[in-house]
A and B are shown apart, each in its own frame.
Chain A
Amino acid sequence: MFDVQSVAHQGPQSRQFNPYTENGGTILAIAGADFSVIAGDTRQSEGYSIQTRYAPKVFQLTDKAVLAVNGFSADGKMFVKKVKQRLEWYRHAHAKDMPIRSIARLIQTMLYSRRFFPYYVYNILGGIEDDGTGSVYSFDPVGSYEREACRAAGAAQSLVQPFLDNQVYYKNQTAGQDESFPTHLPLPSVLKLVVDAFTSATERHIEVGDGLEIYVVLKRDSTAIQSMEGVQEVTTSEEGQRVFYIRRELKKD
């Protein structure tokens, strides 16, 4: 049996192993009336070193759900793998994809099951609900979650989230006489905000940059994306919602 007492008195030369690290980067999601946009940069770093300029943090789970993970990348990869596995099991058992609100609850239980050795990851789940509305769910590392209209997480959360408060929720702005702010932004405006948020974060945060990946989950009958350039359709099924992928370069310094 492992003897804690004797090891504890071994002296100061033995170094404590830290099972966690931080790999930088930032993720962001915004929900619209009938779409959801989920984005993340592609830089992976440790300390002041850039490990790679392309490590995806945003993953398509089903034809209506996309998950962004940020924090300790090894935990992130393992977590996404396990979520995907659970969704596959669900498909085999129920012959349909799991609804997004159920995926959100699944993620909560999976995170909380590791309450005392947590996955050091911040998750943001985006997609289309069964009622056809765009949705965003955000989580903390131990599973607290909430449905929201927009959320930023990761290294540049503090730079991006107040910008989103201002531009998505119109915080500290008042509408003119006989005017009102929209409850949901149109897709082109959302995409502009996402790109602006990431270029700004790249400018002022050393762990953000290199590339930007944006996923758009769009309700099947929506026409919002027809006239967009550089958009690649990555829809997986005929019945579900449509999914699009957009890639942009970010500064590499």
Chain B
Amino acid sequence: MDHFPTNWGRPRNDLHDAYGTYPIHQHPQHAPKDAFADGVKRTQQPIVTGTSVLGVVYKDGVMLAADNLASYGSLARFKDVQRLHPVGNHTVLGVSGDMSDYQYIQKLLEELVIEEFTEQDGSILGPAELHEYLSQVMYARRSKINPLWNSLIVGGVKDGQRFLAYVDLLGTTYKAPTIATGYGAYIAQPLLRKAVEPYTDVLTEEQAQSILEECMRVLYYRDARSLDKFQIATITEEGIRISETRHLASSWSFAEGIRGYGAQTQ
């Protein structure tokens, strides 16, 4: 809730002070402009974007989930986009952020996989190697101040090792038993931590699936840039399975009772 009445009804910058925690005189919009801003080379911004991706480690492998929407700002522009991308037989890449940068990453990975295949040296790229490669690409691009505007989750199983890791447009990386990008980091991550993290070695495929589906449902209710159509990728020792598009059941009857915030009174 923004506590400053002067801001009510105005477009809000969600990146800065969403909770109105600053006194008015040091509120972001009153702040002096960055003195260097004009002299610095400006980079792109994301155009067509995908929202959250979720990833969990469970008993037999790793599971990723992402919806099928690619938004153009607030417009739901493409509603049948697959954001889970298989690489080789051990790895799936889940992508949020700019979709054209995603297609460029797909191209890079295809070239990489072909090049590695033609070596015929008996070694295959696993999830750890692909994550390292993507980290280097993302970090190199951010260092050129020309980032690939994405948050990526790399999930996979190879040689009996489950692997789940993250890399984003800054080249920031980490591994964790559950990972969520975008709004998922705020909305789904706490649910996943509670439902998955203590049970990564006992959770069955069915349980992991229903947890992910529930998180996708919560995201569909709360994230305005999400869709009720999503896919799940399951990676086990046996290989990769990416599901058909699934539909999320949801009920909006409660919305009738909401009478709005702020100026809307009746």
Contacts and interface: CB of A to CB of B under 8 A. Distances in A.
Contact of B172 (A10, A17, A21): A21
Interface in B127-156: 135, 139, 142-143, 145, 147
Contacts of B120: none
Interface residues of B, dominant DSSP: loop
Interface residues of A, number: 27
Contacts, number: 62
B172 A49 contact: no
A201 to B, nearest CB: 21
Given A2-B41, A14-B45, A16-B42, A52 B170 contact: no
Contact of A20 (B37, B43, B139, B170): B170
B173 A73 contact: yes
A139 to B, nearest CB: 20
A74 B45 contact: no
A57 to B, nearest CB: 12
Contacts of B44: 17
Interface in A1-26: 2, 4, 7-8, 10, 14-17, 19-21, 23
A77 B41 CA distance: 26
B173 A77 contact: yes
A125 B57 CA distance: 35
Contacts of B166: 51
A224 interface: no
Interface string A43-68: 01010010111110000000000000
A51 B45 contact: no
Contact of A19 (B142, B173, B176): B142
Interface of B: 34, 37-38, 40-45, 135, 139, 142-143, 145, 147, 166, 170-176, 185-186, 189
Given A16-B43, A49-B186, 14 more contacts: A14-B42, A16-B34, A16-B40, A17-B147, A19-B147, A20-B170, A49-B185, A52-B176, A54-B175, A72-B172, A73-B174, A74-B173, A77-B135, A77-B173
